[in-house]
Amino acid sequence: MSKFYPYLGYEEVCQQVPIQFPPQHQPAQPGLETLMDPPPVFDDPNYIGTGKLMDKVALVTGGDSGIGRAVSIAFAKEGADVCIVYYDEHEDAQITKAYIEAQGRKCLLISGDIRDESFCRSSIEKTVSALGGLDILVNNAGVQFPQNGIENIPIEQMLFTFEVNFFGIFMMTKFAVPYLTKGSTIISTASVLAYTGNDQMIDYSSTKGAIVSFTRSMARSLVSKGIRVNAVAPGPIWTPLQPASQPADRIPTFGSNTPMRRAGQPVELAPTYVYLASNDSSYVTGQVLHVDGGASMQS
């Protein structure tokens, strides 16, 4: 990889060109999309919705940026109103809201910490009250803190990572289920690292493994109610979490170790979530779909 791109558009993504990102680092997670160079590609301007989610209501955690932003916009193009639950990235959230409203759909923004049980409960209740119900829950928010070896992982870090990545999903799902009906869907963001592991992200990989087991268990629990539960396992995707968690000198080669020799873009994940949220996947539950540039083939 030898080329820096000042800006990436959807056409460049389609060309499958390996990209060398400029070194960069952000001081805190979950990171800001507005500070990234180049900005992630989160929308396909040629994507025309066909009403697959018409008048559905979706709640997307971490929907302000990255994968969550791309998913939220795709859902709106398919006719859904969207509640975005995010931490404190207000500018990113406002940008995503503008994209959703440009599709003629409603967007509710709720800022807070999904580690907080009362916040999770109130987020669900506010969504139902403001948007008239809840049909789709996307558990997407997450954090990661690379460390060299388990001996360097503070217990506080391990607890924090599980609280955000897994306990938040557990609580959002718990409080959403009473409002879901036949045809509703739950989709969680796992990771290729749940399958391959990673020696520098032991706690993070463990949370993603927990999400896989949780997805399969919830699919069994809710199948009799006609509610489907699935997950997506991304590989290395260019989102704010990367410069907010990785040293600047690791960014230029981010994603280059996959068979495709590049990182993925959020826009490449969105159709998978649309598929799992819509009736196109009516016979799919308890499954994890891999969108990882072939990374899961490596061991």
What are the pLDDT digits (tens) for 200-248? 999 999 999 999 999 999 999 999 999 999 999 999 999 999 999 999 9
Question: Number of C-alpha atoms within 13 angstroms, CB side, residue 299?
Answer: 2
Confidence tier at 6 by pLDDT (50, 70, 90): very low
Q: Coil, helix or strand for 291?
A: strand
* CA nearest to 99, candidates 31, 46, 36, 42: 42
Question: What per-residue confidence (pLDDT) applies to 298?
Answer: 75
Question: What per-residue confidence (pLDDT) applies to 10?
Answer: 64
Question: What per-residue confidence (pLDDT) applies to 299?
Answer: 59
Whole-model pTM?
0.94
Architecture of domain 54-292: 3-Layer(aba) Sandwich (3.40)
Cα separation of 299 and 294, whole Å?
11
pLDDT for residue 67 is more than 70: yes
What are the pLDDT digits (tens) for 82-138? 999 999 999 999 999 999 999 999 999 999 999 999 999 999 999 999 999 999 999
- Asked if residue 123 lies in contact with residue 100, where contact means CB atoms within 8 angstroms, the answer is no
What are the pLDDT digits (tens) for 141-186? 999 999 999 999 999 999 999 999 999 999 999 999 999 999 999 9
- Which residues are the active-site residues? 204
Question: What per-residue confidence (pLDDT) applies to 19?
Answer: 73
pLDDT for residue 3 is more than 60: no
- Asked if residue 129 lies in contact with residue 110, where contact means CB atoms within 8 angstroms, the answer is no
The full set of domain ranges for the chain reads: 54-292
Q: How many other C-beta atoms lie within 10 A of the C-beta of residue 38?
A: 17
pLDDT for residue 71 is more than 90: yes
